[in-house]
Amino acid sequence: MKEKVVIITGAAGGLGRAFALGFASAGAKVAVCDLNLAGAEETAAMVGEDALALKVDVADEASTEQMARTVIEKWGRIDVLVNNAAIYATIQRKPFYEITVAEWDLVMNVNLKGAWLCTKAVAKHMIQERRASTANSEMSTGKIINISSATVMSGSPMWSHYVASKGGVIGLTRSMAKELGEFNITVNAIAPGFTLTDASLNLIENAQKYGVERGAIKRSSTAEDIVGTALYLASSASDFVTGQTIVVDGGKQFL
């Protein structure tokens, strides 16, 4: 990842912050993006001089377009986009028939529409760069990494809007992979299982033990467990992998 330019959304804390630190430790320049600018700036300070903190509303097209332009102006290129921003901790769990239209739309706007808008904003720059370097046989591969959720496979109850939004992310991943492949841009998704972030600890009672007995690996996942998969999907080691969803949950889904 040395000298690669990476945009990470939802990076003010939790999994997004772990991504930012992980990519930076691998040598990348990191744009730390979040609606919470103070949190983004805190993450950027932890990353160091090769970080840029940006206030970004992923559900707003103008904001995502400005995000991409600012990163291009700063570093001249975009190599990797990690669509991590999502509404999660503040979701009220309830039966699907009690979810309001406003709640449904808010979750969809951030979790699904946000991934589409960010990719739309970034992909045009990736395409332009790769078109300009078609004569180069060592042309780098653009990488889009979408964060879905293992709840899509388990159908977690009382969370239908969240699960549906993350299922949509998988469908979006497959479709965009087909469209962007000709430009040497890969699109993949990671579906984490329950992960011990601050949001999860506040959301689930007895979070340290949640679901451990159902996994092949008898411990809870940490944010760092997900980072390694993201680094693989962002690296040249995965240049022929696209349209895939990798479940990172310690083996819960196949048991």
Mean pLDDT of 251-255: 64
Say how far residue 79 (Cα) sits from the centre of its chain: 14
Q: What pLDDT, in 10s, does the model give residues 105-159? A: 999 999 999 999 999 999 999 998 877 665 554 567 899 999 999 889 888 888 8
For 5-248, give the CATH class. alpha beta
Return the pLDDT at 150: 87
Mean pLDDT of the chain: 89
pLDDT at 163 over 90: yes
Q: Which residues lie across from 119 on neighbouring strands?
A: none
Return the pLDDT at 211: 56
Return the pLDDT at 209: 55
Active site residue 162: yes
Return the pLDDT at 180: 96
Return the pLDDT at 242: 97
Return the pLDDT at 186: 97
Return the pLDDT at 70: 98
| Structure tokens given for 94 | 């309830």
Burial-class residue 79 by CB neighbours within 10 Å (0-12, 13-18, 19+).
buried
Return the pLDDT at 224: 87
Q: What is the dihedral of CA 56, 170, 77, 44, to 10 degrees?
A: 40
Q: What is the 3-state secondary structure (H, E, C) of 67-82?
A: HHHHHHHHHCCCCEEE
Q: How far apart are CA 122 and CA 79, in angstroms?
A: 9
Return the pLDDT at 221: 73
Return the pLDDT at 222: 81
Q: What percent of the chain has pLDDT over 70?
A: 87
pLDDT at 204 over 80: no
Domain ranges of the chain: 5-248
Q: What pLDDT, in 10s, does the model give residues 15-52? A: 999 999 999 999 999 999 999 999 999 999 999 999 99
> Is 132 or 71 the better-scoring residue by pLDDT?
71
pLDDT band (50, 70, 90) for residue 251: confident
Mean pLDDT of 233-248: 95
Of 88, 97, 162, 210, catalytic: 162
Q: How far apart are CA 63 and CA 254, in angstroms?
A: 40
